[in-house]
Amino acid sequence: MRVAVIGSGEMGLAMGGHMLRKGFDVSAFDVDAERLRQAGELGLQPKESLADAARSAEMFLLVVANDQQVIDVCDGLSEAVGATIVVAATISPETMLGLKPRIEERGQRLVDAPVVYGASGARDGTLLSLCGGEASDVESVRPVLSSYSRDVVHVGPLGAGQVAKSCNNLLHWIHCVANFEALLIAKRYGIDAQRMREILLACPGANGTLARWDTTRFTWQEKDMDVTMDLAQKAGLMLPLSAQVDQLVKTLKASDVKALLYGPEATYLGRTVRPLSAGEGGLG
């Protein structure tokens, strides 16, 4: 199968590399010339325009940043008759459903297949693809998705993959806030936070985010939580914990976690937290 990766950033390049090693014919397009150069160095066939890319493949994997970019790319692929467009980006299910009529009208197929396990999963080829769409459409692209995924899961109809990704994202960011607050207690009482993290990983309260927490980049929490809260609002759901996390996680940065785990003090909600002395009620 001939595949074109649209968006050759860190994720797209890594995913394209795995496809290439599995024997697929892979091309790439990106508006950034440097990224396109890197794609060529990796062995992907660089395309100078979206129109060129549209003529080069049967399947298009969209690894772009947001809803509008997905819409723009889909519009730019209108001449790729009979192609399958796979959206690996994390976007709103509403956007996926809005694209469906015009994609189908021109004889194309559409699958949403956002991934979890992030940049490290992309590098290692151990992402998990959460797919929405017709079962036959998902099966037709499964071999390609399997080249960079530990598993390819068909969640349900179009948009279901995006809902599943939002559920995962919500738990991830809830865990980030909970992990920070739990380890902040340990740090305040003079227990090394990284050591406490290692201990908690053997306890019932352990979570996947805690296991990988020192590599969490805190890049997409605002976008992720905006999508999640929009889903809740449109469904008429009251999610008070999610609403609190929506505000709290936007205050956190990767440097805050690094300071908490490895530094002498940490900062949370504008307050600096240092270990208590014995005279202040510390453990001695």
Q: Are 111 and 86 in contact (CB under 8 A)?
A: yes
Write out the two tokens for 222.
Answer: 């605002």
| Structural domains of the chain in order of their starting residue, each with its CATH number | 2-156 (3.40.50.720), 163-275 (1.10.1040.10)
Q: Which residue reads 């189908």 in tokens?
A: 104
**In this predicted model, what pLDDT tens digit does every residue of 82-97 receive, in sequence order?**
999 999 999 999 999 9
pLDDT confidence bin for 181, thresholds 50/70/90: very high
* pLDDT tens-digit readout, 214-264: 888 888 899 999 999 999 999 999 999 999 999 999 999 999 999 999 999
Q: At what angle do helices 160-188 and 221-235 cross, to 10 degrees?
A: 120
| CB neighbour burial string for 95-107, b if at least 16 within 10 angstroms, e if fewer | bbbebeeebeeee
- In this predicted structure, what is the pLDDT of residue 225? 95
The pTM of this model reads 0.94
Q: 210 with 186: CB under 8 angstroms? A: no
Give the Cα separation of 22 and 37 in Å (integer): 22
* Residue 126: pLDDT band with limits 50, 70, 90: very high
